[in-house]
Chain A
Amino acid sequence: MTPLDATDRRLLNRMQEDLPLVAHPYAAVAEELGIGEDELLARLARMKEDRVITRFGPFFDAAAMGGAFCLCAMAVPKAEFDAVLTKVNAHAEVAHNYQRTHRLNMWFVLATETPDGIGACADAIERETGITVLRFPKLQEFFIGFRVAA
């Protein structure tokens, strides 16, 4: 991976904020930052290639589309971990999944198009794996501070 320079860091901080909805949005951001559009696109492409940026695009709110999100957790025995992981990740509804240091060692987010989809998917995972899927839907959101200072 190419080390990030000061311009990369400024760009990454800016790109965590909303892109202007104009025909040439990258040119608009490039102008804000005082660099050329070509340079901005090349830097973004490199950071994507290096996986510094995992994704660039719209962030959708499943709830606003009538769908739902739910954080789920499972206590997966170590010997079965990879087999269970394959079964869990095979569900398109699993948006992300992390291994964590706890008896509950697999934590994933389900994103579904309807509220019913959460229960259906979690139930299916329980049937396929024989492991309880604990469900932690959000009751209140206090802050979405999505920015990381690069």
Chain B
Amino acid sequence: MIDDTDRQIIAAMQGGLPLVPAPFAEIASRLEMDEGDLMARIAAMKASGVIRRIAAAPNHYKLGMTANGMTVWDVEDARVAELGAQVGALPFVTHCYERPRALPDWPYNLFAMVHGASGDEVEEKRAQIAALLGAACRGHDILYSTRILKKTGLRLKERN
């Protein structure tokens, strides 16, 4: 679990890491901490999984990946673990999860995000997933995103 100092570190970094030669020194100075202590805290949070990585979030649209399909599948419960792992391993699937159905509105329990340069490319990839799932899949759909309505990192509430 994280303590108050970790919380302050997260708050200081959640807007992004400064693009300066010594970014951890800059964060440390904002927090009036020692740079080494800050880096040790970050290392501990990486080890515990609180920080997954420090990296860039690319904008798919700007990279020409303008078609983004959330493919959704109604897969037999008994086979979803095995088949989900196979779908998740496909190189063009960027996220793959089992989620609960919300009957009657939503019969699908496997979600696989597919990105491509065109709708045709995404459809072709969807067909590959359909072939892989075969008869274990009782229905499927694809939802295209038409607009990013919000995109921020995790925001911690101020609290003291």
**A interface vs B, CB < 8 Å?**
1, 4, 12, 15-19, 21, 23-27, 37, 41, 44-45, 47-48, 50-62, 64-66, 71, 73, 75, 85, 89, 92-102, 104, 106-108, 111, 113, 134-148, 150
Is A53's CB under 8 angstroms from B154's CB? Answer: no
Which chain A residues border B151 with CB–CB below 8 Å?
54-55, 95-97
* CB closest chain-A residue, reference B142: A101
Main secondary structure of the interface of A (DSSP, over half): mixed
How many A-B pairs have beta carbons closer than 8 Å: the answer is 231
| Residue-wise interface mask of B (67-99) relative to A, using a CB-CB cutoff of 8 A (1 in contact, 0 not) | 000100000000011001101110101111111
Q: A51-B59, A92-B157, A140-B98 are in contact. Are A41 and B147 (CB under 8 A)?
A: no
Q: In the complex the two chains form, is A52's CB within 8 Å of B58's CB?
A: yes
Q: What residues of B have a CB within 8 angstroms of the CB of A96 in the complex?
A: 148-152
Q: Are A23 and B88 within 8 A (Cβ)? A: no
Contact B70 A58 (CB under 8 A): no
Q: CB within 8 Å of A: which residues of B?
A: 1-2, 10, 13-17, 19-25, 35, 39, 42-43, 46, 48-60, 62-63, 65, 70, 80-81, 84-85, 87-89, 91, 93-100, 102, 105-106, 111, 115, 141, 143-157
A100 touches B65 (CB 8 A): no
CB closest chain-B residue, reference A37: B21
Q: Is the CB of B53 within 8 A of A99?
A: no
- Distance A119 CA – B117 CA, assembled complex (angstroms): 36
Contact between B55 and A148, CB atoms less than 8 A apart: no
